Structure formats: C-alpha cells, structure tokens
Amino acid sequence: MKFFLCVIGMVIIIEGLPYFVFPEKIKSIISSIIKTPNNTLRRLGLFLMLTGLFLVYLGKN
C-alpha cells in the first residue's frame, strides 16, 4: 500500500508540473482539446491505457 501511495503521489506531481510551469500553454492545449472530436479523444485514451497496461506488465516481469 505504501508503494501504491508513492506511485499515485508521483503521478500527481508529474501531472501538476505542466500547469505550474506553463499555465498559458496549458490553456491553449485545453482549448484545442475542446475542439477535438470525441472519437479521437476516446482512441487516444484507449491507446494511453493500453500503453500504461503494457508498461505495468513489463515492470512486473
């Protein structure tokens, strides 16, 4: 459980870093995400989840 909390903490740090360092760029990225079709976002999300699953698999073996 301690390891899991450390991993979640690191993810939150990495996710928050761009908002802290580049707030103006993040706003433009978010506005372009709003214009992106839902199917494209779903495909991107699926790709990211599968990539994460693959990395977890590699890390466990």
Per the model's pLDDT, the better-predicted residue between 2 and 31 turns out to be 31
CB 19 within 8 A of CB 26: yes
Whole-number Å distance between alpha carbons of 34 and 38: 9
Q: How many domains does the chain have?
A: 1
For the cut 90, the answer to whether the pLDDT of residue 61 exceeds it is no
pLDDT band at 60 (very low <50, low <70, confident <90, very high): confident
Mean pLDDT of the chain: 94
What is the mean pLDDT of the segment spanning 48-60? Answer: 93
Q: Per residue in 8-21, pLDDT tens?
A: 999 999 999 999 99
Domain with 17 in it: 2-60
